[in-house]
Structures are given as structure tokens and as C-alpha cells.
Amino acid sequence: MIWLELFLTFLKIGAFTFGGGYAMLPLIQSEVERHGWLTQAEVVDFIAVSESTPGPLAINMATFIGIRTGGIFGAVCATFGVVLPSFVVILIVAKFYEKFRKSRVVDGVMFGLRPAVIGLIGAAFLSVGMTVFFPNGLKSAVFSNAGLWTSLGIFTAGAVLAFRKVHPIVIIAVSAVMGIAAGYAMEL
């Protein structure tokens, strides 16, 4: 049953993600939360793992969540689900290519979807931000500020590096080192 659930959930994620990558985050976050498969913090952790390993985020996510919840066959079901919509649609489009490129309907839908995807990633930024800065909810955060300042510091450093076009893997490595240093420093 979990296998069918994994397949259907990732089929939905595959069918409604345009542009791939971070665009699928809001969908993954809401589906994973609804099913109780991972915590929001685990989703964020896994984005980092996915950025530091080869392959597309969508496949990495599907495989990871699949294996966590349904073992290796769960991973197969989730990955198959996320791949299938793309695969079928592209097979059809490849046959009717000219019509597809000139279609006013496709043009019109994309006119709405392109900015929508930016809004969706913006929403993912906000919800990941809540997880990062206020892991225990807003109230507790006001006074437990060592962790908050650490996160703010690492985020600022990461943003500076990212806007200087430093490779994501380097940014993740630097953040990990800063996190370890700050963690042990807080114990002193």
C-alpha cells in the first residue's frame, strides 16, 4: 500500500513541476508533510545532500523518500512515478513537435506558469527560512538566540558566496564547517 501511495504521490509531483529543481519544493514539502514521511528540517537537509551528489534533485528526492518509507522497492516506485509524466509527455511532444512549438495554448499557459514558478520558489524560500531560523516556532526563538544568530551568520556568508557565483557544493561545505565550529563553540 505504501508503494502505491509513493508512486501516486510522486506521479503528482512529476506532473505538476515545471522547470524542475527548486520549483518542486513547495509540492514536496506539502506532500511529505501530509503523509508524515519526513520533517521539514529533513527535507532541507536532503536538498543539501542532493546538491552535493550527482543527478537531478527530483530523482534524488524521490529515491531518498522512497527508500526511507518503503525500502528499495519504495524507491523504485517513487522514482518511476516522478519520471513517468515527463517521459510520456515528451514522447508525445517529440512526435507533434512543430504543432507544440507554434501552439498558442502552450504559449498562453506558459505565460502564466513562468512567473508562478518564481512565486512558488519564493514561498519555498520563506518556509525553509522558518525551518532554519525558528526550528521550534516563533515564540521560543525570541529568547533562544545563539542558534538564531549562528544561522543568520551562516546564511549571510552563504548568500555572499552564492551571489559571487561560488559553486553550491563549496557553499554547502563551508556552511557545514561553520555549523560544526559554532555547535561546539556553543557547548563551551
Partner 1 sequence: MNKVIDLFVTFLKIGAFTFGGGYAMIPLIQREVCENKKWLNDDDILEIVAIAESTPGPVAINAATFVGSRTAGTVGAVCATLGVVLPSFLIISVISYVLRAFQESRAVQYAFMGIRAGVLALILKAVYTMFRSAKKHGVSYFIMAAALVLTALLKTDAVFVIIGCGTFGLVWSLIFGKKGEG
Task: Tell me which residues in 129-158 interact with partner 1 (CB under 8 A).
Answer: 129, 131-132, 147, 150-158
Asked if residue 4 binds partner 1 (CB under 8 A), the reply is no
> For the purposes of burial, counting CB atoms within 10 Å of the CB of 65, is it exposed (0-12), middle (13-18) or buried (19 or more)?
buried
Of the residues 2, 68, 134, 141, which one makes contact with partner 1 according to CB under 8 A = 68
- CA-closest candidate to residue 125, choices 7, 29, 42: 29
Q: Which of 3, 21, 35, 134 binds partner 1 (CB under 8 A)?
A: 21
Which residue, 6 or 47, has its beta carbon nearer to partner 1?
A: 47
**Is the dihedral angle over the CA atoms 174, 24, 121, 26 positive or is it negative?**
negative
> Residue written as cell 559554532?
182
Tell me the closest approach of the beta carbon of residue 175 to partner 1, in angstroms. Answer: 3
89-96 long-range contacts, CB within 8 A, separation 24+: none
Q: Which is nearer to partner 1, 6 or 154 (CB)?
A: 154
Residue identified by cell 551571489 is 163
Minimum CB distance to partner 1, residue 19 (Å):
6
Map the footprint of partner 1 across residues 41-60, applying CB under 8 A. Answer: 41, 44-45, 47-60
Terminal-to-terminal C-alpha distance of the chain: 48
Binding mask 70-109 for partner 1 (x = CB under 8 A): --x--x---x--xx-xxx-xxx-xx--x--xx--xxxxxx
Which is closer to partner 1, CB of 3 or CB of 131?
131
- Residue labelled with grid coordinates 515528451: 90
